[in-house]
Chains A and B, each alone.
Chain A
Amino acid sequence: MSAPALDARGIWRDFSGHPVLRGVDLTVEAGETVVLLGPNGAGKSTLLRILALLLRPRAGEIRIGGHDAGRERAEAVRRVGYLGHESGCYPDLSARENLAFYADLFGVADAVHTDELLAWTGLADAERRPLRACSRGMVQRVALARALLHRPALVLLDEPFTGLDPAATEALDARLRALRREGAAALITVHDVARAASLGTRVLILHAGRLAWTSGGAVADPAALAETYRAVTAGRG
Chain B
Amino acid sequence: MIRTVLFAALLAASSVHAQENGRNLAAGCAICHGTQGKPAPGAPLIPLAGLPRDHIASQMRAFRDGQRPATVMHQIAKGYSDAQIEAIAAWFAAQPR
Q: Do A and B bind each other?
A: no
Taking Cβ atoms with an 8 Å cutoff, the residues of A that contact B are none
Taking Cβ atoms with an 8 Å cutoff, the residues of B that contact A are none
